[in-house]
Structure formats: structure tokens, C-alpha cells
Amino acid sequence: MTQSTWTVSEPQKLSFDAPVAEVRVRVVNGTVNVVGTEDDGPARLEVGRIDGPPLIVTHEHGTLTVAYEDMSWKGFLKSFEKNGFSRESWQRSAEVTLTVPAAARVELGAVGAAAVVSGIRGGTEVKGVSGDTALVGLAGAVRADTVSGSVEAQSVTGELRFKSVSGDLTVVDGAGASVRADSVSGDMVLDLDPAAGPADIALTSVSGEVAIRLPHPADARVEAHTASGSVRTAFEDLRVSGQWGAKRITGTLGAGTGTLKASTVSGAIALLRRPAADADPFTDAGGPGTPPALDKKVL
């Protein structure tokens, strides 16, 4: 299959008749939206306002790439953390919208750009620096690595992996079988969907706060600990131990089919309980003693 290449230096719309199985996007500033669709129409690209160097668009062997010529995917975050981008390279911006088959796999690299990926079930990998990212209705494996950008995942059913220096993670209606998250100072808030069944969750942070809202009744073996932060739980079946320094929350909820592990050095940990359908969420969501700051994030 021959390669097709376009240089986009002004607002433009492109349509791709050949199949698209993989999408690779790398942008600086502006916005990027990647939308998965189940229809049989061609993949489409719309570039709105664009400032600075042009975007190079290529389609080859089922892979659609939208990127700057001087930005590679390999070592994307490591290169930034080590050397940063020159002032000249920051003077660029683009508004990019891609509509692609839902079965496609997506690789997205964003520096300072607000990103949204929705409706993709072929797997998604995001590498971000400072822009916030929203992941909506994704299936397949999902991985998000950021420096300081926050990630919000809503109705994500695949395995979710998150790693960040200071970016926050928020999971809304979490339905995935597995969540692994690691952050230095970013906060983590997870609200689990009661219809999703037992989950496998492991969260690690140095100074970030952790709040997890579980369905009621819950079904998990729980082990959460902090070296110097506070702990709160809305579940009477869990045991809180330690008064000075290290504190732990341990125990089994329901049959203990799922697993929940959370660890911080100085951050607070709160295990919240979803209210019943007819309950007042402002009084019943967190349970007694829930830290107000964490409670507000979940609500």
C-alpha cells in the first residue's frame, strides 16, 4: 500500500477512504479530540485554528498519523523531562478533531493541549505533559502517563493504568476490571460502578490524597495504609489500626472477591460508600468522619 502524505498549515478537512486500524497523534497546545464511531464511513480529520509549524498527516498500512515533524513518539515524556522543549517549539497550537473506527488503537501525545478520547475500544495510550485529558467510554487496555496534567476517566471498561508526577486521576462510574495508578503528589479519586462487579485496584502515592467510593454492599479484600496521613472509612466491617504515624485500614467486605490496595506516605486515604438510590448523597456518600476535601471531589 502506498503512503499518502499531507502538510496542513491552515484549517482543513480530510477524509481517508483506506482502512484505519491505528491512530497516532502528537500535538502542542490547543485541543485534540479523537472520537470512535461504529459507522462504516471513512475516517475524518478536521484541523481548525493552527498556529506555528504545520502538521504532517500520513496514512500508511492502516496507520493514520497526525503530528509535528520534530516530535517523535519514542521517548516522548523522557525527552521532555530531561531537556524540555525550547521556547520556539512552544510557539505552536492546533485544534484537531479525528473521527475514526471504534476498533482502532489510539496513541496520543500532548504537550499543553486539552485532549478528549471517546468511544475507542481498540486500546488507548496517552502521554501528556501539562494538558488535562478526558477518557470517555473506552474499552480495551488504557494507559495514561502524564507529568502534571490531570486525567478523568468516565465509563472506562478496560484495564486502566495511570502514572503521573503531579497530575490528578479521577475515575467516574469506573467499570474496569483493573486499575493501577502511581503518582508522586497527584490526588486520586475513584467512584466505582456497582454494576461492574468486583474490581482489582492498586493505588500508590507519595503525598497525594486518595478517595475511593465503593458500591454498597461492597465485595473486596481491603489493605490501605499511610505512613503519616489520616485515614477514614465508611465501612464498619473494616478495621482501622495505628494512632500515631503509620495507619492502616484492613478487612474483607462481602465475599472478598475483589482486591483494593492503596498506599501513601503522607497523603490521606478515605474509603467512601455509595449511597442507596433514595439516599441524600450529601449526607450519606462519605460516611462518618470523611475528610471534607476528599468528599467534595467525589460529589
Distance CA 143, CA 203 (A): 14
Classify burial at 177, counting beta carbons within 10 Å of its beta carbon; exposed 0-12, middle 13-18, buried 19 or more.
Answer: middle
| Entry field: residues in the chain | 299
Residue 167's CB: how many other CB atoms inside 10 A?
A: 27
pTM for the whole structure = 0.88
How much is the pLDDT for 217?
84
pLDDT for 212-230, tens place per residue?
999 888 899 999 999 999 9
Q: Which residues of the chain have pLDDT under 50?
A: 1, 277-278, 280-299
Are 266 and 226 within 8 A, CB to CB?
yes
Chain centre to alpha carbon of residue 150: 8
Strand partners, 55: 8
pLDDT for 8-24, tens place per residue?
999 999 999 999 999 99
Q: Give just the sign of the alpha carbon dihedral 272, 142, 100, 53.
A: positive
- Residue 89's identity, in one-letter code, is S
How much is the pLDDT for 198?
81
